[in-house]
Each structure stands twice: as C-alpha cells, then as structure tokens.
Amino acid sequence: MKDLAGATISRKDYPRLVALCEHGRPLPVEFDEWERWLGQAADEANRLGLPAFAIPLDVEEFKHWSADVGMRPCLEALRAFLIVKRYGGVPDLT
C-alpha cells in the first residue's frame, strides 16, 4: 500500500482509472474508499520513513506508460508507475 502514498486524482477522473485497471486486484469502486486507501498508504509510508509527497495521477499518462513498459494497467502497474514517478520521473508520453 505504501506505494500509493501521495497519489492524487480527481473524483471526476477516478472512474476512468477504475475502468482502466480491470485486471488483477481491483481498485475500490468508490472514490471515498480510494481516499481511505491513500490515507493508509501515507500512514504506512510515514512509519517506514518513506516520502509521501503529492504525485498527480493522470489516467492517460498511466495508460501510455503501461503500454510503453509492456504492463497491463492494474493495481500492480499503478504501484510501479507511482514508484517511478516518485523516484525517477516518468517522461511525458502524451
């Protein structure tokens, strides 16, 4: 969960992310539950001393990144995407 810490997405865009991540472990359907996940992720990151700064989550950027690295969009791909954004940067592929 700690890898989700800091992810930010609008309530309006969240359903697109859920639909995109149809493979593997499902994301919460409700945005409020997603925000609870993020709170738990931030708590875990803080306990471990890891950075939990805001990371804008753009659905199209994630979709293109997933295709570029050969991963199906899913929770695990999302975690990898956020790790890369947090530590190494993701080039703008859109």
Q: How many domains does the chain have?
A: 1
Q: Is the pTM of this model over 0.75?
A: yes
Is 55 a domain residue? yes
The answer on pLDDT for 1 being more than 90 is no
Enclosing domain of residue 37:
2-87
Is 39 a domain residue? yes
CA–CA gap between residue 76 and residue 3 (Å, rounded): 10
Q: Going along 1-94, which residue ranges are E strands?
A: 7-8, 55-56
CA–CA gap between residue 34 and residue 84 (Å, rounded): 21
Is 22 a domain residue? yes
- Give the range among 4-18, 21-35, 42-56 with minimum mean pLDDT: 42-56
Is 15 a domain residue? yes
- Which SS3 state, helix, strand or coil, does residue 22 take? coil
Is 63 a domain residue? yes
Is 92 a domain residue? no
Is 81 a domain residue? yes
